[in-house]
Amino acid sequence: MTSLAGSSVLVVGATGGLGHEIARILSAEGALLTLHGRNAQRVINLGIAGAVASGDLCDPETATQLVAAAVAAHGRLDGIVNAAGLVAFGALAEVSDDTIDTLMAVNATAPMRLLRAAHPALAESAATHRDPFFLTLSGIVSESPTANMAAYSASKAALAAFGTAAGREIRRDGIRFIDARPGHTETGLATRPIQGSAPRLPTGYRPADVARRIVDAIIAGERDLPSTAFSA
C-alpha cells in the first residue's frame, strides 16, 4: 500500500489517546474514516472527518455493527485499526472476576469478533488489489508480561497470539495482519484503570510519534511492529 488516499478505514477506539492520533494522521493521509467510540458525542467532538459509530465492545453484536457502518458509509472496508483497550493494576490475588472478564472481553475477544465480522469485506477489498489490513496494539506487555499487571498482560498476550495465528490464515486471502507493540505511551490510559492504581511509570512515548510510526508501517506494507520498532 503506497497510499491511504481513498481507503476506507475503521478506527476502533478513536476517542482514546492513541486512537485519535492515529485517526488524525489517517485523515491527513486521505483515508475515508469510520470512527468508533463508546460515546458518539465524544467521537463527534474529535473534529475529525468521518462517519461516526458507537458501541460497547463487550457486546457480541458490536463488531458486526461497526463493520456494517463502515461499509454503509464508504461502500467498502479496506482496513481496521483496533486501538481500543483497557488496563488494570494490582496483584493477581486482588483482581476481581469482573476485572478479568472485562479485560479479556475488550482486549482479546472483541478483536477476534471484529476480524471475523470484517473478513468478507476485507477479502473483497483484497480481490480488488487494495491491500487490506487489520491492525492491533498488543503492546510491550505481550512480549514482557509484567508483575502486578498479570491479568492485563495475559489479555494482551492472548491478542498477540491471536494475531500470529490469524495472520497466517488471512494472509492466504490477501489480508495483512499487523500487531504493534510499543512501550509505555502517554495516552492517559494508566490514569483510567478499571481496577487498582498505576505504579510510578517512566515518561512514555508521545502518542503522536507512536501513531506516526504505525501509520507509516501501514503504508509501507509492514506486518509486525515489535517494541524495538519504536523509539523516543
Q: Give the pLDDT score at 25.
A: 98
Q: Give the pLDDT score at 222.
A: 97
Whether residue 220 is contained in a domain is answered as yes
Which CATH number does the domain housing residue 183 bear?
A: 3.40.50.720
Q: Give the pLDDT score at 39.
A: 96
Alpha carbon distance 42, 222 (integer Å): 31
Full residue range of the structural domain in which residue 60 is found: 8-229
| Residue range 144-201, pLDDT digits in tens | 999 999 999 999 999 999 999 999 999 999 999 999 999 999 999 999 999 999 988 8
Task: Supply φ then ψ for residue 229, to 5 degrees.
Answer: -80, -5
| Residue range 13-38, pLDDT digits in tens | 999 999 999 999 999 999 999 999 99
Whether residue 190 is contained in a domain is answered as yes
CB 59 within 8 A of CB 80: no
Q: Is the pLDDT of residue 208 over 70?
A: yes
Q: Give the pLDDT score at 201.
A: 87
CA distances, 220 to each of 83, 123, 161, 178, 214 (Å) = 19, 20, 23, 12, 10
Mean pLDDT of 140-145: 96
Whether residue 2 is contained in a domain is answered as no
Q: Give the pLDDT score at 231.
A: 84
Whether residue 147 is contained in a domain is answered as yes
Q: Give the pLDDT score at 17.
A: 95
Q: Is the pLDDT of residue 95 over 90?
A: yes
Q: How many residues does the chain have?
A: 232
Sheet-wide strand order for 32-37: 51-54, 32-37, 8-12, 79-82, 133-137, 176-180, 224-225
Whether residue 143 is contained in a domain is answered as yes
Whether residue 197 is contained in a domain is answered as yes
Q: Is the pTM of this model over 0.95?
A: yes
Whether residue 1 is contained in a domain is answered as no
Mean pLDDT of 69-80: 98
Q: Give the pLDDT score at 232.
A: 66
Looking at the 3D structure of the chain, how many domains does it have? 1
Q: Give the pLDDT score at 2.
A: 77
